[in-house]
Amino acid sequence: TQSRSSAASDVYKRQDQSNTTLLPFFMNDIAIEKKFMQQDGIHPNKEAQPFIRDKMEKEINNWVNSSKS
């Protein structure tokens, strides 16, 4: 099996080759807050969803607006 760092490296190589945009990892600010995580400590809960939505909306809007220029 492939290590996570090797798999991530492959994603970035493919991104460069295919001229696609990767959005930033959205869990950094959420995962550190236990109140936003399910009991498994891996998955965000219902309360985290608006924060995820807002973060992704901002990043997608930035990407769309930058591609128009």
Decide if pLDDT at 31 tops 80.
Answer: yes
Decide if pLDDT at 45 tops 90.
Answer: yes
Range 1-30 average pLDDT = 75
pLDDT tens digits, one per residue of 46-65: 999 999 999 999 999 998 99
User: Residue 18, by phi and psi: left (phi above 0), alpha (psi -120 to 50) or beta?
Assistant: alpha
- CA 15 and chain centroid, separation: 15
| φ, ψ dihedrals at 37, nearest 5° | -115, 145
pTM (2 d.p.): 0.69
